[in-house]
Structure 1
Amino acid sequence: MGSRGRRRIDEIGEESRRRILDAAEELFAERGAERTSFVDISERSGISRGSIPWHFTNKDGLVIAVVERAIDRAMAPERHRSPPPLAELLDDYAAWVRSDNSALLFMILTEAMTSTGAVHQRYQEFLAQRRDGLELWVRLQRPENVDPETAARQEHAFAVALNGALIGIHLQALIEPDGFDLDDALRSTATLFGRGLADVWETPPAPR
């Protein structure tokens, strides 16, 4: 098969994957993952039921892929300068929190917390990916005169704390959308963590 034929097959595969993800995201938001079957997704997407596990292995894999794509779409790094100001990142995060499908982030949390199976493992990987992205954002701003090994632990701790703050604000916004101003909360987060950024490299890590 020539290169043109291979490219066409790849394009068809990517289009099928996108249509499956679009349908799954809509259905998960409408009725939840547990009440959505591969048959439902096939009917909504127009893609054969057998193609879904070929792309995503099982429903766990599909759920995680839907969540990851939703976040990546909202906070796409190529839309920003490198590294972008924290406030700019959180503006994108606010837009995603307000979207119809942002509850997908928490949809599988209960199962992940009460199981030791595939969902638990994939959710761990998902959280680790989000922390890694924040940690990279911090590392890109590291001063040249800082020892990388010493800084790494502090940068990781900073990313964990920031990720936790965002998850907490997001959850409150979903449960009590009129209880506080989301933009004010995220602006305060950007200010507090922005002020603390310099301390990441000035404060020695605690002994283990």
Structure 2
Amino acid sequence: MSELGLLPNCFSYTTVIGGYCKMGEIKKALYFLGKMLKSGLKPSVATYTMLIDGYCKSDNMDMAEDLFQKMITEGLVPDVVAYNTLMNGYGKKGHLHKAFELLDMMRSANVSPDTVTYNTLIHSLVMRGFVNEAKDLLDELIRRGFSLDVATFTSIIGGFSKKGNFEEAFLVWFYMSEHHVKPDVV
């Protein structure tokens, strides 16, 4: 690229870093982060989010959290995607208390949780066997008039079904249908 007189910018470095993170090549991603920093460019929230996701997927939650904190220390404001990425990592590891702490941090930082945020929390609860708690969260979201999608409902329906509680599963399905959320295959 530089042979052609083109210098990489933050976006191009972030794209390369994200590609390596998606492939599970965190060391190569860090190599390009180093090149980015040496060239005088600062990582963006998107750059950090890609690296956080890479660390979450490589089961290194300590580094993921360290990067999240470093982003804040450097004066960047994590967006909903950054929060959701770290939250998803915690949820998959079963660190539900950390996932819910992030929800509190989001609210304190005036970052509005979105459907992905709540789907992540609900799915994490269901995967750890806390289906009733996931349903309680769903009920709270419904009371608050939050926009929900099919993933919100199907996770809970699947959780109740796996526990043999088909009556609750049907009630959630019925509510979903009543609110014109089209079901998919559970």
Give me the TM-score of the superposition, normalised by structure 2.
Answer: 0.32
Larger RCO (CA under 8 A, 6+ residues apart): 1
Give me the TM-score of the superposition, normalised by structure 1.
Answer: 0.30
